[in-house]
Amino acid sequence: MLYWIRHTRVAHALAVVLSSVLLTGMELILVALGTLRYGKGWNVGWTTLSYILALALVYGYYRLHERFFTSRYGNP
C-alpha cells in the first residue's frame, strides 16, 4: 500500500480502503475454502474495520517518519 501511495497519484484514503477491501477479499476466500472460521462474534465487517484501522495507523506512522526522520533531499 505504501509503495502504491508513494509511486502513483492515488488518494491516500482511497488506497487505505482499497487495500483493506483486497485483504478482506483474500480472507473471504479462506472462509469459503473452510480453512478459516470466525468465532466469538467476529465477522467480515469487523475484519474490514480492523484492516482499515491497522492500515491507517501504518500510513500515519509512515507520514510521521517521513516528516521527522527523512531529509528533504532524499534519504538521511
Mind listing the pLDDT tens digit for each residue in 4-35? 777 888 888 899 999 999 999 999 999 999 99
Q: Is 73 left (phi over 0), alpha (psi -120 to 50) or beta?
A: alpha
Q: What average pLDDT does the chain have?
A: 88
Please report, for residues 43, 57, 66, 68, 70, the alpha-carbon distance to residue 62 in angstroms, rounded to integers and kept in the order given: 29, 8, 6, 10, 11
Which pLDDT score, from 0 to 100, does residue 7 have? 80
- Distance, in Å, from the CA atom of 20 to the CA atom of 51, rounded to the nearest integer, reads 5
The pLDDT confidence band at residue 50, using thresholds 50, 70 and 90, is: very high
pLDDT band at 74 (very low <50, low <70, confident <90, very high): low
* pLDDT at position 11: 87
